[in-house]
Amino acid sequence: MAQYTLETDGQVCPFPLVEAGDAIAKLNFGDQLTINFDCTQATDALPRWAAENGYPVTHFDRVGDAQWTITVQKA
């Protein structure tokens, strides 16, 4: 299992979600993708996208006033 990080700070929605979809498509099953973002709408959109695609969320945390991190596993 490998760990990858996607930095999307400064991008407005839906770009963090689009980039997450592109990034996870390249990963092997079991790999984890950590997405760092500051788009408020993505706090709802990213977990929903993960659930709809069967990707378990292994970590989700607010790391600043307007910054979050979420880790999803390709399953």
Catalytic residue among 4, 6, 11, 13: 13
**Which pTM value belongs to this model?**
0.95
Mean pLDDT of 33-50: 96
Establish whether 39 is a catalytic residue.
Answer: no
Cα–Cα nearest to 54, from 35, 72, 71, 36: 72
d(CA 3, CA 71): 9
pLDDT at 39: 93
DSSP string over 7-30: E-TTPPTTHHHHHHHHHHHTSPTT
Taking residues 16-23, report their average pLDDT: 97
For 44-70, the pLDDT digits (tens) are 999 999 999 999 999 999 999 999 999
